[in-house]
Amino acid sequence: MNKKRPNMNRRALLLFFIFSVLFFMLTYRFFVIQLTGQAEGQVLANYAEKKYGKTRILEGTRGSIYDRNGEPLAINTTAYKLVAVLDPSVTPENAETPSHVVDPESTAEQLANYIDMDEKDILARLQLASEGYFQVEFGNAGRNLSYETKEEIEKLNLPGIIFIRETKRAYPNGVFASHLIGFAQTSTEDEEEQLIGQIGLEKALNDYLEGKNGKIEYKSDRWGFILPNADAQITPPENGDTVYLTLDKKIQTFLENAMNEVNEAYEPEKMMGIVADAKTGAILAMSQRPTFDPNTREGIDDNWQNIVVETAFEPGSTMKVFTLAAAIEEGVFNPNETYMSGSFSVEGSKSIRDHNYSGWGEITFLEGIQKSSNVAVSYLVEKMGTDVFKNYLDLFQFGQPTEIGLANEASGTIQYQWERDKYATSYGQASSVTALQLVQAMTAITNDGKMMHPYLVEKIVDDEGNIVKNSDEQQVATPISAQTAEQVREILETVVTEEGATGNRFQIDGYQVGGKTGTAQIYEPGVGYLTGWDNYIFSFIGFAPVDDPQLIVYVMVQQPDLDEEIYEAGSVPVSMVFNSVMKKSLQYLNIEPDEEVVSANVNDMPDLSGESVENSVDLLNDMELEPVVIGNGSNVMSFYPEAGTSLLEGEKVMIVTDGTWTMPDLTGWSLRDVLKFSSVTGIQISYNGNGYVIAQSLETDAVISEENRLDIELEDPLDALKNEYENSSLPSDESDGG
């Protein structure tokens, strides 16, 4: 027995040593943890924070987009995301209802009836449990589900199918200025899902619209419940700002409907339309084809590009508006001066031809504008000089982006290297512009020489209603005088009203319309100008009413499917959009039609050739027209307007007799009527002021001939009333309170 004791002692000593080492290691470990606060390289405080500290996101709402009248264009709505839980561990033992997918085949078959995904693709996702997936989602097909769809799926009682509530961006008007407004979709940034603008104004104004998420942080127990007396740290969310655009929902609807009609009837390759406030440059409507539905993205793959903003093209004869304005401003445009149409020679290059190739013989420059003569504007450039003309192109800011605030805005190119290009630019060939540049330049015509920046944002307000950004309205240049602008408007009205002019199709009952047509070839790099009748860009830029323009409408239709191979055929689809949109918009804005136009019967001018003056006067009086007899002869030598021209009740008709001409009293005549007088007699005129004639250089009843020159003074009736008031005997500080 004694022999075993040494062995027992040794074993006891060994055990004591082992336990001492373990105790020492445990004690050491305890003190190390106490001193360093770490275990296995992990900070225990962080571990505890991660396990028991909870953070919940407080979602910041994306700002809405409204039209100028507060009609919603882009808003936030609630949507649901479909999720399938695959892991069997989520289902408690002996549970009556499983919490995970137990029958993938049946589940896939039933879900295929409610989401846009093939049954086999759904099944493939539901079978990922074998690869260790806890849960799966269904991409875009399973997102943005409506409450109604969610309810229908829930009625199926499919095990493992759950829904997660999320915010969806909604566009209540569907296809509606889609490329302009753009769209926002859910993206993940910094591990947080939020709506981010992808294109259009949603992207351009994202910094204003984007909401910033907040959060709440608190301590919880092992079951996730907040600990008693635990302090919660709250970072409040910031909602995005609300944007009010210059768009008008009614006018935009007019434009969308008209473009839909033309798109269906003529199937053009491209089409665009813009409606702008003629005084401020505010964009009231903008659309294009092809387009897409921002809610479903259907059609977006056909064209992501906002062609109104991002495309530059040769404008065709709409460019003649600004060539004419430059020529008038420089004093080189005489409406009665004649030239030989058909061909214009350019040194070292092929001649410039009119669109009908042969021209119309010797005609006046006014007729040249009305007939859209390339040769006429080429002569005007020659008169003012190509360098002077280039200066006006710069003043109208062609070749520069308008900086409307949208991405990838094109600037266009003014080609001025070759001599022929300098002249070709005057009628819209060789150089390229954008639709926005044309609208911007036209505001100088409609706004008495003051060119306005086209803009889209009326105001932006924060969540408390404070304005964080005001209107973008601003004047950018004054390329021409008010007097020039008025004369251009008067002439552009004749482009629409005169028989045989290119704009006859754009007349609108009840309103005076001015404008200019455009027909341009399409140039493709490496190919050159496309051939074939359908390979053209047809357009029109116009305004109304002429006396006090309120709206500018620009319409472009590229490569429509035309049945008739005639020059005028291309204006049909363009006029279908322009006439409808302009008339409905003017009526909607309560812009009163011209009373004379509304009450008048439209008559065709009779042919008075060979008639006596007496019979002609009686005939015109019977038609409720106003004859103006020039001369004391008994027979009609010429008359104006030409036979067949559509005339309105009360309109003046000039009759030139075979006797001695005498000067009529022009007091109260409009500039348009004076131009008629000038056209029929050949007397050159110059004028000063705006409005109606108050003075003339040639005395009434004085003998005149085509060698005379006539100077007239014009005055607006409102200005006359103001002058009368200011010169009255009333004290200068007396007021009637109005």
DSSP symbols for 365-407: HHHHHHTT-HHHHHHHHHHH-HHHHHHHHHHTTTTS----S-T
Length of the chain: 738
Q: What are phi and psi of 574, to 5 degrees?
A: -65, -45
Residue for token pair 């059609």: 299
Burial class (CB in 10 A: 0-12, 13-18, 19+), 569: middle
Ramachandran region of residue 238, left (φ > 0), alpha (ψ -120 to 50) or beta?
Answer: beta
According to DSSP, the β-strands at 684-688 and 709-715 are parallel
Q: Are 356 and 376 in contact, with CB atoms under 8 Å apart? A: no
What token pair was written down for 731?
């004290």
Q: Which of 211, 204, 207 is nearest to 240 (CA)?
A: 211
Greatest C-alpha distance within the chain:
167
According to DSSP, the β-strands at 283-289 and 652-657 are unpaired
Kind and range of the H or E run holding 204: helix 200-204
DSSP helix/strand/coil, 451: strand
Burial class (CB in 10 A: 0-12, 13-18, 19+), 564: exposed
Residues with catalytic roles: 317
What token pair was written down for 676?
């008629």
Q: Which of 574, 505, 582 is nearest to 262 (CA)?
A: 574
> What is the CB neighbour count within 10 angstroms for residue 470?
10
What token pair was written down for 367?
């007729």
Q: How far apart are CA 496 and CA 505, in angstroms?
A: 7
